[in-house]
Amino acid sequence: MAHFKKKQAKSGANDIPTASLPDIIFMLLIFFMVTTVLRETTVQVRTTLPKAEALTKIEQKRLVSYIWIGPLKQGLNQFGPTSIQIDDALVEDMTVIRSIMYRKWQEQPRLIVSLRVDETSEMGVVTRVQQELREAGTLRINYSSKRDISNL
């Protein structure tokens, strides 16, 4: 019993040292602050992305510019005609795309245009957008799609 008591006394206060706790938490905090991308645009069109297998990842997010194509959201579960959205605004006239994208391309020559197209869209509109992208010279595109889990 004496031996037992001695051992306990030796170890002293057995609290977890909390002095470095703020540092650890700050470390985590900084990690999440750096990785967070606050969403700056509200998407006004529905884009249910298609599923695919041959996917590649876009590593450099700052090179990416998005074009959303899909039915316009009009209230709960109601959708309008297929519309195109770039940044925060809907595109009415297709020919505007080339000047918008050309400006973006001048700022970032390695621009990747991510096409987030709703799976129910028709190819006609996608092809027209692609023609505009060719006019603008932004040739690197990416058909945004989700991983097909059913095949795995």
Partner 1 sequence: MALLKKKERSEAEIPTASMADIAFLLLIFFLVTTTIDVDTGIGMVLPPKLEDDVEPPPIRERNMLKILVNETGQVLLEDKPSGVNMIRDEVVKHVTNNGSDPNYSVSPTSAIVSIKTSSQTPYDTYIQVLDEVWMGYFNIWNSELRRMGMGGVTYTEAPDDVKVAIRKDYPAAISIAEPDDLEQ
CB neighbour list of residue 65: distance below 8 Å, 6 or more residues apart: 86, 101, 104, 108, 111, 112, 113, 114, 138
Distances 57 to 38, 39, 53, 64 between C-alpha atoms, Å: 20, 19, 12, 12
How far apart are CB 110 and partner 1 at their closest, in Å? Answer: 12
Q: Give the torsion through C-alpha atoms of 19, 25, 31, 35, to 10 deg.
A: -170
Please give the residues from 59 up to 98 whose contact with partner 1 meets the rule CB under 8 A.
61, 64
Number of residues in contact with partner 1 under rule CB under 8 A: 53
d(CA 86, CA 50): 19
Closest CB to partner 1 among 75 and 81? 81
How far apart are CB 120 and partner 1 at their closest, in Å? Answer: 7
Closest CB to partner 1 among 1 and 19? 19
Binding site for partner 1 (CB under 8 A): 18, 21-22, 25-26, 28-29, 32-33, 35-38, 50-58, 61, 64, 112, 114-115, 117-124, 126-128, 130-131, 133-135, 137, 139-147
